[in-house]
């Protein structure tokens, strides 16, 4: 019995001593979250991801920005180069077109000059629009006679003098502009009739032809044919008796009138018949085509 009691006491003594030893050896565990070592991760593991995120974002931003700038620069440069090339091509094309137009104009102008040289008896060459030795020689002869620079070239001064002298030979002589305007006003109110050429009814060109015929001056029947007569004048150069042309129902010179002075002209209008109108009226201003001088008495045109 004594042995049994001694063993029981030993077991009890051992059991009582174990918690204290365990508590001394093991760390104190608390239910509070801020003291629990298991619940809170190590400081190193917290610091690394927090610091890494902004750094990676900055690095990504830098790496994204650098290639973007490097890639965009050449892309922007290429369109500029292409734009310059296209601009050069366009400028070349426009220059070529302008030169072609100038050549066409010079050819037409030269052909007119050759016609006028024939009228004045300086040449018997057929008008071709090409400068030849015969044309150059005829121009020199004309320039010498009218005291111009005798270089055989068709400059502005030579061309204007040439066209005027030919017109002075072929144009309507002796009839004065005031006489034409006075006769034009005489038929005020005559109704408009398409194709009309009498006082019972006029169309525009029939009216103009009738007025000039009444003054013993000849003109072609149609407006576009009348527009080829005489010499060209600007609005500032207009004098009473000059012809003014407009584009109305058809392209080109499809309406004609007789300039009366002070910016006004007589014509047979389709709405009110023969009437006095103004070049400043919106309708006529927008449709103005040009003017021709057919009366020699209205004087030479100086550019």
Residue 288 is predicted with a pLDDT of 97
For 119, 176, 177, the CA distances from 299, given in Å and listed in that order, are: 19, 10, 11
Predicted confidence at residue 250, as pLDDT, reads 87
Global pTM reads 0.63
- pLDDT at res. 76: 55
Tokens of 268: 């047979």
> Any idea of the CA torsion for 96, 98, 101, 103, to the nearest 10 degrees?
-70
pLDDT at 6: 60
**Given this model, what pLDDT does residue 221 score?**
96
Query: Looking at residue 301, what is its pLDDT?
Result: 87
How does pLDDT run across 52-93, given as a tens digit for each residue? 433 334 334 444 444 444 444 455 555 666 666 666 666 666
Q: How far apart are CA 292 and CA 168, in angstroms?
A: 14
The two counts, helices (H) then strands (E), for the chain are 8, 8
Q: State whether the Cα torsion 99-100-105-109 is positive or negative.
A: positive
Residue from 216, 214, 209 nearest 186 by CA: 214
Q: Rounded to whole angstroms, how far apart are CA atoms 3 and 132?
A: 157
Please give the average pLDDT of every successive group of 10 residues along the chain, which has 303 residues: 58 50 43 46 41 39 44 54 66 59 64 95 94 96 96 94 95 96 98 96 98 96 95 96 95 96 97 97 97 96 77
């Amino acid at each position: 019995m004594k042995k049994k009691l001694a063993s029981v006491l030993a077991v009890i003594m051992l059991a009582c001593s174990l918690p204290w030893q365990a508590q001394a050896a093991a760390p104190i565990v608390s239910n509070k979250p801020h003291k629990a070592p298991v619940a809170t991760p190590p400081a190193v593991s917290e610091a690394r991801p927090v610091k890494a995120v902004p750094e990676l974002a900055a690095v990504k931003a830098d790496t994204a920005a650098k290639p973007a700038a490097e890639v965009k620069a050449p892309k922007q440069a290429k369109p500029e180069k292409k734009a310059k090339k296209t601009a050069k091509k366009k400028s070349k094309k426009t220059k070529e077109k302008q030169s072609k137009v100038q050549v066409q104009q010079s050819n037409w102008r030269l052909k007119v000059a050759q016609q006028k040289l024939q009228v004045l008896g300086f040449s018997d060459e057929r008008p071709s629009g090409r400068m030849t030795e015969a044309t150059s020689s005829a121009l020199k002869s004309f320039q010498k006679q009218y005291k111009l620079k005798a270089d055989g070239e068709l400059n502005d001064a030579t061309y204007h003098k040439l066209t005027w002298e030919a017109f002075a030979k072929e144009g309507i002589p002796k009839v004065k502009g005031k006489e034409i305007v006075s006769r034009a006003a005489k038929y005020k109110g005559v109704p408009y009739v398409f194709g009309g050429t009498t006082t019972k009814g006029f169309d525009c060109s029939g009216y103009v032809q009738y007025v000039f015929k009444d003054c013993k001056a000849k003109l072609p029947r149609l407006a576009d044919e009348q527009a080829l007569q005489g010499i060209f004048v600007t609005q500032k150069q207009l004098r009473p008796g000059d012809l003014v042309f407009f584009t109305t129902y058809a392209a080109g010179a499809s309406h004609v009138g007789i300039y009366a002075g002070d910016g006004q002209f007589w014509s047979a209008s389709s709405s009110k018949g023969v009437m006095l109108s103004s070049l400043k009226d919106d309708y006529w201003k927008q449709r103005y085509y040009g003017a021709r001088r057919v009366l020699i008495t209205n004087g030479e045109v100086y550019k």
